[in-house]
Amino acid sequence: MSWGYHLIGNFGKCSPSKIRSAQNILHFSRALVDRIYMVPYGDAQVVHFGTGNKGGYTLVQLIETSNICAHFVEETNDVYLDVFSCKSFDKDAVREVFGNFFSHETEEVLFLTRQAPLKNEHSLSEKEMR
């Protein structure tokens, strides 16, 4: 049994105008939530901040089963996306919706099944972590 599912996406050489548009990012968030059959919890936040090579929009959309977060890096036109949910979802649907909104040239996607480990000889105790 698993606790959740986590898609970590690194998308390179995205359309500069599309990652610089708060409206496009907001539309992407809504389309993604619908396409992977999630329920939004409130409205998405799309905020532009950061300076230098860290500047760009950040998206945070809470969903009933966890969250969707992304950072849009204007200097490199790259996007770093995380979708985490305790409800399963289709990773290929995430990739498809992303491509429809941001026209990326490269991608690296990691999909994890998340579950906290049972304590074993390789686990650190709370005392060891301090």
Domain ranges of the chain: 4-129
Distance CA 6, CA 83 (A): 6
Task: Give the DSSP per-residue string, 72-124.
Answer: EETTTTEEEEEEEESS---HHHHHHHHHHHH--SEEEEEEEEE-PPPP-TTSP
Backbone angles phi, psi at 4, to 5 degrees: -165, -175
* Tens of pLDDT, residues 87-114: 999 999 999 999 999 999 999 999 999 9
3-state DSSP assignment of residue 52: helix
Q: Could you read off the pLDDT tens digit of each residue along the chain, which spans 130 residues?
A: 678 999 999 999 999 999 999 999 999 999 999 999 999 999 999 999 988 888 999 999 999 999 999 999 999 999 999 999 999 999 999 999 999 999 999 999 999 999 888 766 555 555 555 5
For residue 55, what is the DSSP state?
A: -
Task: Give the pLDDT of residue 3.
Answer: 86
Whole-structure pTM value? 0.87
Tell me the torsion sign for CA atoms 38, 40, 45, 50.
negative
**Topology of the domain covering 4-129:** S-adenosylmethionine decarboxylase (3.60.90)
